[in-house]
Every structure is written in structure tokens, then in C-alpha cells.
Structure 1
Amino acid sequence: MKSIFEESSYNELKSRISNLNENSEAAWGKMNVGQMVWHCQGPLNIILQKTDYGMKPSWVAKLFFKKSLYNDKPWRKGLPTAKFLKTNDDKNFDTEREQLVALMDEAYSHREKAEWEPHPAFGYFTAQQWGQMQYKHLDHHLKQFGV
């Protein structure tokens, strides 16, 4: 599984994001491209401890969903989105894309970090799992928008 902490994968994601534009359309789901790049900031905000979105530890999440966050199996199209990562508001695509790339850059700058704080809902992840999880989420949504 690729990781946002691997230089080639990190650069690949940034290149794919640069191929998005304000007219990019989703192949599935309800988000427009501005909402998607805003949404993709959420997991990066969590890993960087900028916010925990009010999440609480969940044994159900740990037992049934945790491994799917970082394994090689692609997520199916149309998975439900956590309420705190949803928006119906119009988002400025250029502003949100800049913020997403800045958060990716910040996360990548910590690529040598051996230990991370636990996820507020899922608990502990290894550094490798954190990196894979970030890659998998971004890859899922970039595929959603055809890049």
C-alpha cells in the first residue's frame, strides 16, 4: 500500500491534485470538487492534531472499520461520509486546494516521525498505517474526480 510519507506517492498525489480544476466532475457521490478538496483536509487535520472533530473512541469503529483505513482493498464507491466531514456549503476550489496541499506538505514534513498520537476514534496507528490511511483517502477521492 502506498503512503503519503513516501516521496513518490506524495508527489503523485500532488500532481493529481494539480490536475483538478473548478469544473472537475465526480463520477459518483454528491460532493462537488470544492467540497471534496475541503473534505480531504479532515483526515490531515486529525493526523496533524489540528482538530479531532469531537470524535470519541469507538470499539465498533476499531473492530469493524479500522483495518479498512489502511489495507490494500479499495473502498467502494458511495461510502457514507462522516457528518463532520460533510458540507453543503459552496467552497472556493482554489482556496480549498491550496489549503489541502499545505496540509499535505505539513504531514509529509513529519514523515520521519516514529510515533503519532492516537486517532480520536480509532486509537493507535503505526506511522506506516497513518501514511497509508492518508494516501488511501486522497486516492479514493481523486479517483472519484477522475484524476
Structure 2
Amino acid sequence: MESLFHPKGNQHIVDRIDKLTPIALSEWGVMTVSQMLEHCQLPLQVVYGTKEIKVNWIMRLLFGNKAKKQFTNAHPFGRSMPTAKEFKITHEPDFESAKQKLKELVTKFSREGHDAIKVTVHPLFGKMTHTEIDIAQWKHLDHHLKQFGV
């Protein structure tokens, strides 16, 4: 699996983001391409410490370990997985702004390395290593870029 920390892997994701157009259609799910671009920013903002989400402790206890394993293993995500309510985008963002912001957040991973990561205790998954964070972020971005055919 590629790494967002590694410049080559990071550039691969940015290049795929650049291939998106405002009229790209999803192969599954209900998000528009602009909503997906904004949605993908939110988990990055969580690990950068600029967005905070709260998870019910019961959810963390019941589902945290299982979800963490799913997000950090080598297997790709399945289609139409559930999304945390804090990550659902219900408005229609500006495509170019959302695209540019996502690219900035992605490049921060390789530009700043581990120093970019301010939050290593995920609200649902619990304590995470930098490697686990990298894998989860990569898989999430890859999943949604595939959703829109890139």
C-alpha cells in the first residue's frame, strides 16, 4: 500500500484528485463529486487537530476495535459503507474550492510528515500509530477516488 507520508505516494493521490471534474459521476453511493471532496477533508482535519468530533463511549466500546481493524488492514473498503454523521455533507460545495482544499490537506501529510499529525487518539478507534493513521487516510481517499472513477 502506498503512503501519504511518502512524496511519490502523496503525489499519486493528488494526481488522481486532479483528474476529477465537476461532472464526475459516482459509481456507487449518493454523494456528488463536490460533496466527496469536502467529505474527504474531514478525517484529515481530525488528525491535524483542526476538527473535533465526539463519539459516544458505548459506540467506541462496541465498535472501535473492529472498525480500527477494518480501516487499518490491507483490504480495500466495501462499497456504500456507513458514514459518521459529522462527515456527511448535505450542501453542495464549490467544486474548485473543495478540490484545492483537499489537495492542500493531502500534501501536508508528506510536506510536514509526522509533525502534521496532532491527534493520535481517534474518537472511535482509540490510540493509533502514525502508520495506522497513514493507512486509514490512504484507504479512505483511495476508496472515494475509486468511487468517482479515478
Which 4+ residue blocks in structure 1 deviate beyond 6 angstroms?
A: none
Q: Deviations over 1:6-47 (max 9, x none)?
A: 222101000000000101110000000000000000110011
Kept in 2: contact 1:118–1:125 (CA 8 A) = yes
Report what 2:143 is aligned to: 140
Aligned identity (percent) is 32
**Unaligned stretches of 5+ in structure 1?**
none
Kept in 1: contact 2:46–2:119 (CA 8 A) = no
Report what 2:28 is aligned to: 28
Q: Give 1:91-130 correspondences, 5 Å limit.
A: 91-113=93-115, 117-130=120-133
Pairwise CA distance, 1:110: 2.8
Measure, in 1, the Cα distance between the counterparts of 2:8 and 2:94.
Answer: 28
Structure with greater helix percent: 2
Measure, in 1, the Cα distance between the counterparts of 2:104 and 2:39.
Answer: 14
How many residues end up aligned between the 2 structures? Answer: 147
SS at match of 2:126: coil
Q: Which amino acid aligns with 1:118?
A: V
Pairwise CA distance, 1:63: 2.3
Kept in 2: contact 1:62–1:123 (CA 8 A) = yes
Pairwise CA distance, 1:56: 4.5
RMSD: 1.7
**Unaligned stretches of 5+ in structure 2?**
none
